[in-house]
């Protein structure tokens, strides 16, 4: 009798538990909606949870590791390039690689056919901690690097611009590593093709 009652309770609780996990981003990935600047992602062993997104902007594709990475752990350029290759990206240029910095960045371009797609890949010590945004941009440059801060420049496009002719100038966004989380310090430009100015 007691065993049967426990079984019924588990059957009632199981769907409720699944309903709680679904909005938290279980199974996430690049198909999830983008988040606003300053939004964070927390990684656990089984569930990825995101904070609610403010109504404007987009957020990073960076994660907060379960245990902070060792900023002094060595990482070779070849190992970082393999991380990009495993995600379908080729390195745009090795000139941005600063192995002595705690926060390191490599720009990559998607190998797949289609519109130009670039992302910035961040590393702390020997750990890959994520990308600048959860969706790609048409053109990114590394503007500055200093210890635990990296500033990226995003080319800005008006709706009618060709991919090689952005006419909206650029927007700079500084990303800061605080020892456990990578956070954009400035608004990230929209990726919406219909926005007056977008990073595409």
At 74 the pLDDT is 82
- For residue range 145-182, list pLDDT tens digits in order: 999 999 999 999 999 999 999 999 999 999 999 998 99
At 50 the pLDDT is 30
Domain presence at residue 190 = no
Domain presence at residue 26 = no
Task: With a cut of 50, list the residues of the chain below it in pLDDT.
Answer: 1-58
By the 8 A CB rule, do 126 and 73 touch?
A: yes
Domain presence at residue 27 = no
Domain presence at residue 156 = yes
Domain presence at residue 32 = no
The total domain count for the chain is 1
Domain that holds residue 103: 60-184
Domain presence at residue 47 = no
DSSP-derived 3-state class of residue 113: coil
Q: How far is CA 89 from CA 93, 102, 199, in A?
A: 12, 23, 18
Domain presence at residue 193 = no
- Residue 38: exposed, middle, or buried by beta-carbon count in 10 A (0-12, 13-18, 19+)? middle
Domain presence at residue 6 = no
Q: How far is CA 40 from the centre of its chain?
A: 10
């Amino acid at each position: 009798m007691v065993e049967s009652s426990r079984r019924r309770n588990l059957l009632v609780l199981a769907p409720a538990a699944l309903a709680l996990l679904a909005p938290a981003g279980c199974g996430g990935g690049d198909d999830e909606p983008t988040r606003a600047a300053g939004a964070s992602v927390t990684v656990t062993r089984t569930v990825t949870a995101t904070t609610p997104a403010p109504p404007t902007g987009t957020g990073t594709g960076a994660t907060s590791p379960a245990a902070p990475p060792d900023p002094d752990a060595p990482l070779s350029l070849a190992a970082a390039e393999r991380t990009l290759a495993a995600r379908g990206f080729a390195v745009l240029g090795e000139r941005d690689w600063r192995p002595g910095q705690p926060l390191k960045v490599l720009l990559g371009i998607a190998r797949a056919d289609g519109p130009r797609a670039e992302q910035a890949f961040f590393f702390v010590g020997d750990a890959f901690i994520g990308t600048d945004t959860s969706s790609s941009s048409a053109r990114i440059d590394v503007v500055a690097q200093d210890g635990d801060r990296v500033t990226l420049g995003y080319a800005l496009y008006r709706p009618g611009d060709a991919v090689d002719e952005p006419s909206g100038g650029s927007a700079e966004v500084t990303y800061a590593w605080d020892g456990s989380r990578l956070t954009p310090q400035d608004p990230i430009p929209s990726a919406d093709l219909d926005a007056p100015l977008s990073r595409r």
